[in-house]
Amino acid sequence: MDAQTIIARRVAQELQAGMLVNLGVGIPTLVANYVPHDMRIFFQSENGLIGTGPVPETGMVERYLTDAAGQPVSALPGACTFDSAMSFGLIRGHHLDMTVLGALQVDEAGLLANWTIPGKLVPGMGGAMDLVAGARRVVIAMQHCAKGKPKILRQCTLPLTALRPVDLVVTELAVISFASGAPVLMETAPGVSVAEVLAATEARLVVPDVVPEMTFDGATT
C-alpha cells in the first residue's frame, strides 16, 4: 500500500456506526472509500452536504456535487443539502462527532497548524478553525514528513489553527494519541520499527513497553 492508502484505511478504523463526520481536503477525503460495507456513517461537507459517499468512478461525476474543496463527490441515498449557515451551525454547535483534517505541523501539545505558510498566498483559513474548535474529536491524517523534515514537532513554527489540541494523528508510519496531553506512540505501520518512527519525529514521544502494528482486516468499499 502507498502512504495515503495506509493513512486513510487506518483512520477509517476510528469510525463508529451512526457518526456524523467531516472530512477535510486531501488525504481525509479518501477515508470514505474504506468504510466497512455494513457500517453507516454520515459524512458532512462544510459547503452544505450530509451523506457524501466515495469518490465517484470515472464517468459518474456530477459537476454540481462537490466537497468543500470543489472536488467531485458522490451522494448516498437519503443525502441532504443545505446552506453554509446551517452547515457551520452544525460545526460550531458541537454536533460533529469527528473531523478528519490534514496538517502542515502538529506539536508536542497536540496543537495544529494547517492553514497557511507565511509568504504564500492562500484563500484563507476556511472552516479549519471552526472544525477544530467544534468537533467532538479531531483526527489528523497526514504524511509523517515533508521534504525529509518532520511534521510532528516540539513546537509549531507555522501559525496555529486553534488552541484546542487534536486527539489523534495517523501517518504512514504511526498512530500517535494526544488523549493524555502528551504524544503517545500507539501503533507503528507494518514493517516500521519504533526506532524509525522516533527518528522521523522531532516531538518527544511517550513509548509504551509494547507498541503493536497497525492491522487492516475487514471488508471495505
CB-CB neighbours of 46 under 10 Å: 22
Tell me how far apart the alpha carbons of residues 12 and 100 are, in angstroms, rounded to a whole number: 10
How many angstroms separate the CA atoms of 5 and 62, rounded? Answer: 25
Q: How far apart are CA 121 and CA 106, in angstroms?
A: 21
And the C-alpha cell for 216? 487492516
Pairing between β-strand 42-45 and β-strand 20-23 as defined by DSSP bridges: parallel
Q: Are 132 and 161 in contact (CB under 8 A)?
A: yes
Set 14, 46, 108, 172: catalytic member = 46
With a CB cutoff of 8 Å and minimum separation 6, the contacts of 148 are none
Distance of CA 49 to CAs 139, 144, 180, 197, Å? Answer: 20, 30, 33, 37
CB atoms within 10 A of CB 210: 5
Residue (of 161, 60, 73) closest to 110 by Cα position: 161
46 counts as catalytic: yes
Active-site residues, by number, are 46
